Amino acid sequence: MNRKVGILGGTFNPPHTGHLIIANEVLCALALDEVRFMPNHTPPHKEMAKGVSNEDRVRMIEAAIQGHPHFSVETIELQREGSSYTYDTIRLLKEQEPETDFYFIIGGDMIDYLPKWHKIEELIEIVTFIGVRRPGYLAESSYPLTMVDIPEINLSSTIIRKRAATGETLRYLLPDGVIDYIKENQLYGSRASFKDSEGTDH
């Protein structure tokens, strides 16, 4: 019987609680064996925030998923040059692991964009898309899609980067290990400490 592995791709700049909730809800809902967090090398539709390296993002993911037996980091896209297309990545993964069935997890914004994905017709033949709803998006598609309902958390890495830069609280928005990494490495122009809601240092 093939292993069932979920892939959650993204910039993870930084990885936050919303990412972890999505991964865990899909893991449990579909009885997957594993969910891999896959940081993109150069996303075709985004520019990476300056000052944060690929190694930083991997280290933050490792800190975020520490202690979860079914979470791991997939670095295949970081090992390749140029833009990352999901079709090329999944094809490589299937070549490396022919006994694995892959489930690619996407949010509502990406679901709406599916018709424009690179080689989408070929892609749907080698991977199962798992959709999670996001506020403000239809989350409907003519392509095969398994929807998983998750608790609604409207949290973005952009918000977190802004908070880090101004020294606002990040408690509960990020795992403690990720907060510590940001502070220690002074990422996102972060101040030396972040204040929690009671005004004490975290």
Per residue in 131-177, pLDDT (tens digit) is 997 666 666 777 889 999 888 888 899 999 999 999 999 999 999 99
Q: Tens of pLDDT along 16-37?
A: 999 999 999 999 999 999 999 9
Phi then psi for 8, rounded to 5 degrees? -110, 105
Tell me how far apart the terminal alpha carbons of the chain are, to the nearest angstrom: 46
CATH of domain 3-153: 3.40.50.620
Domain boundaries, the chain: 3-153
Q: Tell me, yes or no, if the pTM score tops 0.85.
A: yes
Instruction: Of 202, 190, 197, give the one whose Cα is nearest residue 52.
Output: 190
Rounded mean pLDDT of the chain? 87
pLDDT of 48 > 80? The answer is: no
pLDDT at 137: 62
